[in-house]
Amino acid sequence: MNWSSAANKLSTQGRAYVLVTLVGVSGSTPRNSGTKMVISQDDIFDTIGGGHLEHKTIKYARTMLAVGKNYQHLEHFQLASNLGQCCGGNASVLFECFTAVGVNIMLFGAGHVGKALIPILAQLPCHVTWVDSREEQFPTMDTYPNVTKVVSEEPEFEVGSMPENSYFVVMTHNHQMDFEISQAVLKRADFSYLGLIASDTKWRRFKQRYKHRDVDQNQVARMSCPIGLEQVGGKLPIEVAVSVSAEIINKYQAEEQKIVEQKRQVEQVLNQRLNTGSQAVSRKHPSSQQGVNWKELKQLLNAD
């Protein structure tokens, strides 16, 4: 997969990545200016020429991903003196970090409640995959740029296409379909949220069937059923939609607070390492960094 296809796929999936571009080269370099590659936490796509330059670039990009912020950074590399590459030229590398979408949601069902829910979700910081077996049920999608329509005769198989920690909302027109979908999510056991629209009778029957299928009861206990925020009642489609969206907002805001705290801890560790690396480099090479931007991730970029 080339860098442009990879960037499109990662963006569609809501996954974080760094787009790397050689924006300026001089002398002898492995690749020309304008060459790009994409780096995610687990994969790399395309190449800027390999060697120590690409090795450092990948490590730098993945540290940016660990920080988890949308930002750009321009770094200058002297291939001979800094990286020990025999080509001996200079390269300026632009790093553009695109963080993961806050929430990935898969909504099953394009009935009255689904149609009322989509306009609300489309205004939130999320990407929605909207699944139904009936093509004719979907409205015009042009006004929902963060919503992807999927027509599937077996929607339970779409569950596997979502990244971990996704949100699943199950409200199809068919009880058996709801059961198969929810069971598929429960067996993944890596969801952040699973909401099922159901009456008390339907919910009791489903729980019995989960037991008969040996579904982990700890995962069943994580389900939101009845679906929606308890404080927001009502049975009209828009009332249910508001209740469900309120529960989703409440859930992801709580998760965001945890992530903010985790990122703060990561940044503290990185700053400590950077300060340690800066002191070590200044002792060993007091004048080797003149004219070079080493403001961030100094230890990482100078490590083998």
Fill in the DSSP letter of residue 210.
Answer: H
pLDDT tens per residue, range 15-52: 889 999 998 787 666 778 889 999 998 899 999 888 88
Task: Flag whether pLDDT at 288 surpasses 50.
Answer: no
Reduced 3-state DSSP string for 27-67: CECCCCCCCEEEECCCCEECCCCCHHHHHHHHHHHHHHHHH
Residue 201: how many other CB atoms lie within 10 Å: 8
Q: Return the higher-pLDDT residue of 256 and 250.
A: 250
Phi-psi region of 256 (alpha: psi -120 to 50; beta: other; left: phi over 0): alpha
33 close to 25: Cβ distance less than 8 angstroms: yes
What distance separates the 2 farthest-apart alpha carbons in the chain?
Answer: 76
| All residues at 6 or more sequence positions from 283 whose CB lies less than 8 Å from its CB, including other chains | none
Q: Give 146-149's long-range contacts (Cβ < 8 A, gap of 24+).
A: 146/122, 147/118, 147/121, 147/122, 148/12
Q: Is the pTM of this model over 0.75?
A: no
Dist CA 278 CA 265 (whole Å): 20
Beta-strand ranges (E) seen in 154-295 are: 167-170, 193-196
Average pLDDT over residues 96-125: 92
Instruction: List alpha helices for 122-199, DSSP H.
Output: 175-188
Query: What per-residue confidence (pLDDT) applies to 152?
Result: 96
Orientation angle between helical segments 51-67 and 237-284, nearest 10 degrees? 130
Q: How far does the chain reach from its first CA to its final CA, in angstroms?
A: 28
Report residue 179 CA to chain centroid gap: 27
Of 48, 39, 35, 32, nearest to 6 by C-alpha is 39
3, 189, 212, 216, 280 from 208: Cα distances, Å: 48, 19, 6, 12, 63
Q: What residue ranges in 40-180 does DSSP mark as E strands?
A: 44-45, 71-78, 90-98, 103-108, 126-132, 147-151, 167-170
pLDDT at residue number 9:
81
How far apart CA 44 and CA 38 sit, in angstroms, is 6
Rounded CA-CA distance 98/172 in Å is 34
Q: Report the amino acid identity of residue 35.
A: T
pLDDT at 304 over 80: no
Average pLDDT, the chain: 85
pLDDT, one tens digit per residue, over 180-199 is 999 999 999 999 999 999 99
Residues linked to residue 44 through DSSP beta bridges, in sequence order: 39
Q: Is the dihedral of CA 84, 86, 92, 96 positive or negative?
A: negative
Q: Work out the average pLDDT over 130-148.
A: 92
pLDDT tens-place string over residues 150-185: 999 999 999 998 988 999 999 999 999 999 999 999
